[in-house]
Chain A
């Protein structure tokens, strides 16, 4: 092959990029998993959540979540019948160890598990300056930590407060919907650990997934629908006071 010095110089950057992708290796294999056959979401049934914190602990263990930060957390709401607009909310350590007895009396009390909404039109994906945050073809919003520059614009853009900067990797982090599990046919750690089935992983592209029957027969809601983020975390029995 005849190549001039100029041609070699032009090829060098391309070779460097190719080498980097070789070094990065191939993603963990899931041979039977087809990205285009799934569209993931989750169903949360408020009336079933007992605030035990199993999901928070399971998530932290499964995903090595740093202390003081949360990929999922549980909130406890106390809504007085005299003041619907100003609920009293707490979530001690993200509800990891459950909740102390309620101080307020009367009104209604319930638990709201929270996590990334894996929005179809996610604001965090939109604002990422390098495209390190992306939505995979199966509807999961993920962060490439090899690529994230740690600018924290996505943290500002998330209306639900689901993102944080991992102090060790100094990159943005959030729920991955246990992508390493669901691509192998397992459910998420939080769903697996929930003793009452308050959380259900849902594949909206799978016609035989019970989510379809549920969505047809129940009044479900997403958080902050006015944000028009295409959230895929569906809540059954969500009170209007929940933010």
Chain B
């Protein structure tokens, strides 16, 4: 039965679909990956250096795809540019457009360019054919890689990262605010929403970079830097504990306050959201990975075992965070604002906002990342000797 109890008649059909679930998931990965990258640059956590550039490229690949689900969802995507031309200043969504653009252009792209500038200049001299033209274009006409110029790059890049950390916080905190500020919806309306979104973003971004680093090392036949993955896993564990703590705080608060919406929400968690919230998000996607990560912190486990645990914990974390986004976006629309009824959501398959579209959009960042990695190899061995590294980078990965 699609509707149980009473829904306002316009509420039966969900306004926001799986594509809107995807959006905070993707931006969360961006913010998390960037925050991990900034650990090395700003806080001088040298152990995570092997993932620094990979994390930046990952953030870029996901950030480029992030607006696509939104565009596909809009009734009039051709008018979406109006948000920039005539923004409505009281709208959280309109202002988010600027946060997104600021983050993409002023932080991420600039930081990547500055970090890679020396490599780009050298590759523009050593590469042949079309790649040479691409690299020459990417230098933006700036070919000075004297020590003095590089020092300035380094300084500028540091400043951008320092600005970038609050920007990354803003990016995902703001996504949380878009939901948290909807007073009509008690499932969303909460001041903790931006903070929960931020920490869950960090958790998912760190997990994604951890997995990508281990995967690419394996593909390249390189040994995984255990000090690096141990450190990342430790950060994942801490961020996850904070994230879970915040979510539990929200839950306890709701249960204890038991306001007018509580019966409705409680009913949902025990019925329509039981699988996605209790089983997938909390048990499989949170408690199991936290438990696994805790094991690696408490016991002295062999390298091989730790690697396997990290892989499993990382993958489950991503599943859990995706489920969290699902439960927020879809869960928030399954109950009536009259608190008298419940509706259901059926995902189409080959429709504009169906499962196929969502799957393609989820996978799309990976070919983009692959192209970025080809173009701008993030591996340590390329950093100082691009002439020697250029050849294997094109054939070896």
- B271 interface residue per 8 A CB criterion: no
A171, closest chain B residue (CB): B75
- CB of B75 within 8 A of CB of A148, answer yes
Q: Which residues of B are found within 8 Å of A163, using beta-carbon distances?
A: 10
- A230 interface residue per 8 A CB criterion: no
B75, closest chain A residue (CB): A150
Given the interface pairs A149-B83, A161-B337, A171-B76, the reply to whether A129 lies near B8 with Cβ below 8 Å is no
- CB of B338 within 8 A of CB of A130, answer no
A241, closest chain B residue (CB): B340
- CB of B90 within 8 A of CB of A126, answer yes
Interface centre among A90, A126, A131 (most CB of B within 10 A): A131
- A147 interface residue per 8 A CB criterion: yes
Contact with B along A137-164 (1 / 0, CB 8 A): 0000000000111111101111111111
Given the interface pairs A129-B88, A148-B76, A156-B15, the reply to whether A69 lies near B10 with Cβ below 8 Å is yes
Q: Provide the bound-state CA to CA distance between A73 and B82, in Å.
A: 33
Interface size on A, residues (CB 8 A): 44
Q: Measured between C-beta atoms, what is the minimum distance from A97 to chain B in Å?
A: 13
Chain B positions within 8 Å of A, measured between CB atoms, are: 6-11, 13, 15-16, 70, 73-77, 79-80, 82-83, 86-88, 90-94, 97, 178, 182-185, 333, 336-340
> Beyond A148-B76, A161-B10: 14 further Cβ-contacts under 8 Å?
A87-B340, A127-B92, A129-B88, A130-B88, A131-B86, A147-B82, A149-B79, A150-B76, A151-B70, A157-B183, A159-B183, A161-B337, A243-B337, A243-B340
Can you report 27 residue pairs joining A to B where beta carbons are below 8 Å apart? Answer: A91-B9, A125-B90, A126-B91, A127-B91, A127-B92, A127-B93, A128-B91, A130-B82, A130-B88, A131-B86, A131-B88, A148-B79, A149-B82, A150-B75, A151-B73, A151-B74, A153-B93, A155-B10, A156-B182, A157-B183, A158-B184, A159-B183, A161-B11, A161-B337, A163-B10, A171-B76, A243-B339
Chain A positions within 8 Å of B, measured between CB atoms, are: 69-70, 73, 75, 86-91, 93-94, 114, 123, 125-131, 147-153, 155-165, 169-171, 227, 243
